Amino acid sequence: MSVENLAATQNNANGIVIIGAGLAGWHVIDAIRAKDKDVPITLITTDSGDRYHKPMLTMAISQNKRASDLVRATGVDAAAAAQVTLLANTHVVDIDPAAQTVQLAATEQVDTPAVFTYDKLVLAVGAHPIFPKSLPEDLVWHVNHIERFGQLQEKLATGSQHVAIVGAGMVGTEIAEDLLKAGHQVTLIDLNDAPLSQMLPPKATARIAQAVKSQGINFLGGYQVSSVSRINNSGSDNDNDDEIKGKLQVRYEPVPSTTENADAKQPATLIVDHVIASTGLTVDDTLPTAAGIDYNRRTGIVVDAPTLRTTADNIYAIGDCMSINGVACRYVAPLRAQAATIADDILGLEHGGYDHKPPMIRLKNKAISVMATGTPQAQGNWQVTSENDDELIMELLDDNNDISATVTIKMPPTPKAP
């Protein structure tokens, strides 16, 4: 943060402050600027603020795309175009909702913390990966931000490598196929017996598991990782083998409570070049706690559904960091509608209120087509409506026998022989 930017921000007191420059934060800026070209906006972000489409991260390695290829506009250029004051690489350490102030951490350019006022505040801070104790952050990658993706992509660009992915939800399953297509050896490890098992019933996930395995991905279902360690000259079972020194040793063991034929499974060790965590997301509690707003670490910041206001006056939340009726909102599709609602509410314009509808969920894998609507969850009264070798359609019925979710799984057509 430069002294000039700090001064500009303080001169724009009582304007709109947005914390977080991911898709959600930039969507809010777009929505406000579509209706008001002049209201002061300050965007505060811990990174550069570059605009990019995060869902592309799970598909980019096989397309040989670098992080720079995914950037649609730098933060500086995007801020200039939107007439926004950008405070990049800047951390917010405190929010005082009574005084309507935001406090920034001291930086190399500014020795003392900066405090300035806001009229309206939008929290677009997203969610960050969960790292269980068995997955040390200094040894394990995640693909949830373009900077970390870029670092991993550079490592993988040196040639074919063995990558273990821990967690076979949608992101883990998509990354597994992407890495395989890029020529890497892939092992996918999950607590459950099949991918997407927390979202879909066994009849559906069994088809996904079959498709994943048919590609050549080594799927280890019903296992939990107990440790990840660097192989060096001391302490490793394999420390005399020069070929594996510097690689990672992954120890995993069966999960008896959730695994079929658990007695037949034994603890084992895997030697890999990289480990990627895809074990879920959580919302950091620092800012919600500081602001005194209702919050759940698992699902996020509680908002009023029609307005996306938090429980503190003049503070809103959007995207991955918020929850509606106890359900986290972590899909990209609704962001435009959420941003439009916040923009109207901030600007005092009449609006019909945000109507949250779960978006269609699509697994971006070529080996199998998976589409889900509503709010799918593994447990419940799932009914088969159509089933053959190429397609499976199921519906989830609630207590009133109304459809609350559907899933359609299709096998891709077999390529014709030349």
Predicted TM-score (pTM) of this structure: 0.90
- Identify the pLDDT of residue 253: 96
| pLDDT exceeds cutoff 80 at 14 | no
From 254, 277, 300, the end of a domain falls on 277
User: Token digits for 241?
Assistant: 């083998």
Looking at the fold, whether 28 and 108 belong to one and the same domain comes out as yes
Tokens 């602001």, residue?
291
Q: For position 232, what pLDDT does the model report?
A: 86
pLDDT band at residue 236, thresholds of 50, 70 and 90?
Answer: very low
pLDDT band at 338 (very low <50, low <70, confident <90, very high): very high
Looking at the domain assignment, is residue 135 inside a domain?
no
Please check whether residues 304 and 250 belong to one and the same domain. Answer: no
pLDDT at 305: 94
CA distance 201 to 204: 6
Tell me the residue type at 34: A
DSSP class of residue 400? T
Both 12 and 72 in one domain: the answer is yes
Asked whether residue 139 is domain-assigned, the answer is no
Strand ranges, E, within 208-273? 218-221, 223-230, 248-254, 268-272
Domain extent for 38: 3-127+283-347
Contact 368, 208 (CB under 8 A): yes
Q: List, in order, residues 6 or more apart from 158 with CB less than 8 Å away.
A: none
Are residue 261 and residue 294 in the same domain, yes or no? no
Q: What local confidence, expressed as pLDDT, does residue 108 receive?
A: 61
In a domain, 189, yes or no: yes
Q: What are phi and psi of 340, to 5 degrees?
A: -65, -40
Least confident of 260-269, 274-283, 335-344: 260-269
Between the CA of residue 131 and those of 8, 172, 223, 258, what are the distances in Å?
A: 38, 14, 16, 21
User: Are the C-beta atoms of 23 and 319 separated by less than 8 Å?
Assistant: yes
Instruction: Say yes or no: 264 and 313 in one domain.
Output: no
Q: End of a domain among 277, 307, 326?
A: 277
Chain mean pLDDT for the chain? 91
What average pLDDT does this structure show over 289-294?
96
Per-residue pLDDT tens for 97-155? 999 999 999 766 555 668 889 999 999 999 999 999 999 999 999 999 999 999 999 99
User: Do residues 181 and 110 both lie within one domain?
Assistant: no
Tell me the per-residue pLDDT of 220-233, one tens digit each, with 9 for 90 and over: 999 999 999 999 85
Q: If pLDDT is split at 50, 70 and 90, which confidence band does 417 have?
A: low
Q: Average pLDDT, stretch 44-57?
A: 95
**How many other CB atoms are there within 10 angstroms of residue 132's CB atom?**
15
How many domains does the chain contain in total?
3
Residue ranges in 157-238 assigned as alpha helix (H): 170-181, 202-215
Residue 417 lies in a domain: no
Asked whether residue 370 is domain-assigned, the answer is yes
pLDDT value at residue 347: 97
243: confidence class by pLDDT, cuts 50, 70, 90? confident
For residue 21, pLDDT over 80 is answered with yes
Mean pLDDT for the stretch of residues 351-361: 93
Q: Which carries the bigger pLDDT value, residue 401 or residue 256?
A: 401
Of 261, 277, 293, which one is at a domain's C-terminal end?
A: 277
Q: Does the residue 36 lie in any domain? A: yes
- Burial state string for 374-391 with b = 16 or more CB within 10 A and e = fewer than 16: bebebeeebeeeeeeeee
Phi/psi region, residue 126 (left: phi>0; alpha: psi -120 to 50; beta: rest), is left
Q: Is 84 helix (H, G, I), strand (E, B) or coil?
A: coil
Rounded CA separation 324/197 (Å)? 23
Angstrom distance (rounded) from CA 191 to CA 339: 36
Residues 384 and 338 grouped into a single domain: no
Rounded to whole angstroms, how far apart are CA atoms 210 and 204? Answer: 10
The residue whose two tokens read 């992954």 is: 250
Contact (Cβ atoms closer than 8 angstroms) between residue 354 and residue 341: yes
pLDDT over threshold 70, residue 364: yes
Q: Lowest mean pLDDT: which of 11-20, 87-96, 135-144?
A: 11-20
In a domain, 172, yes or no: yes
Asked if residues 101 and 10 have their Cβ atoms less than 8 Å apart, the reply is no
Note whether residue 99 is domain-resident.
Answer: yes
Q: Which of 30, 29, 31, 21 is nearest to 51 (CA)?
A: 21
Residues 152, 265 within the same domain: yes
Q: Give me the pLDDT at residue 2, please.
A: 46
Strands 403-410 and 369-374, by their bridges, are antiparallel
What proportion of the chain, given as a percentage, has pLDDT over 70?
Answer: 90
Give the per-residue pLDDT at 11.
45
One-letter identity of residue 90 = T
CATH code assigned at 319: 3.50.50.60
Residue 265, pLDDT score: 83
Which three-class secondary structure state does DSSP give residue 23? helix
Helix (H) or strand (E) holding 343: helix 335-347
Q: Do residues 263 and 384 share a domain?
A: no
Q: What is the reported pLDDT for 1? A: 42
Residues 73 and 25 in one domain: yes
The band of 416, judged by pLDDT with boundaries at 50, 70 and 90, is low
Give the containing element (helix H, strand E) for 289: helix 286-291
The predicted pLDDT at position 229 comes to 96
307 and 385 inside one domain? no
Mark 226-256 as b/e (b = at least 16 C-beta within 10 Å): eebeebeeeebeeeeeeebeebbbbbbebbe
Looking at the fold, whether 249 and 327 belong to one and the same domain comes out as no
